[in-house]
Amino acid sequence: MADRAYNNGRVETFHIPARKAGVEFVINYDQQHATLVARLHNRSAYRSAYRMIAKGLPDLDGYQRFTYPTGSPVPHTPLNGKNSIMVPLMIPETTMKSREPGGKTRRLQPLKHLQRLAYKSDAWASYYGMRNLVEASNSRFKDSNQEDLGNPKKRSGRGFSSNYLLTARAISSFNLRSIATFILKLRDRAIEKPLRTRRRKDENERPLARLVTTRAAAPPG
């Protein structure tokens, strides 16, 4: 899950390796693309009947097989008679001119915005909502009373390797503490809490024994 589509990653270093590793994205879009997709979402109920269905997972080369929809109002009959098609990893969409004078042209890739679930659909929202748990965990890593990962003084080493190791140790410490907290909660639930002495007393001023209440059995039939 990633906010704002892909954190401005490049397809060569982010999307292509992830796709070949079998990763499926659940992503949001930037404001420009979100406005366009929101307009299409209003018609998603009608478009879903025509949407091709992904079959299995992408292969090691990132290719994905899709089957043609069979329940669409207008049946689709492939010219080759097959009921599925293999879509390659890279599909050049168009060439865009540079926004700055003298800049390089760039080729847009659909892969940069690809995700299996329809954007803003109920299934998409159920997965993307779990991102809140990720953000909550990230904020706990930075707790100044614990790992304090956001404090640069706690990771004074220079270079990628040093920061990588320090981050891994901080996350390991956080995970161990979370596991210990969970186990302690289970232990506390398992321990029987002492019962309060009853206020009602017998004729000798001794508290009555606590009765075990049971539900009445349901009448037969």
Domain boundaries, the chain: 4-94, 130-188
Single pTM value for the model: 0.52
With 60 as the cut, is the pLDDT of residue 6 above it? no
- Residue 179 has what pLDDT? 92
What is the band of 28 on the pLDDT scale with cuts at 50, 70, 90? Answer: confident
The strand ranges marked E within the chain are: 53-55, 64-67, 84-87, 94-96, 106-108
Tokens of 32: 């420009």
Residues 146, 162: Cα–Cα separation, whole Å = 20
DSSP 197-209: PPS-B-TTSPBPP
Closest CA to 125 of 15, 23, 44: 44
**DSSP category for residue 76:** -
Angle at 36 between CA 30 and CA 38, to 5 degrees: 90
pLDDT over threshold 70, residue 69: yes
Report the C-alpha gap between 66 and 82 in whole angstroms. 11
Please report the sign of the dihedral spanned by the C-alpha atoms of residue 169, residue 172, residue 178, residue 184.
negative
Give the pLDDT mean for 75-95. Answer: 72
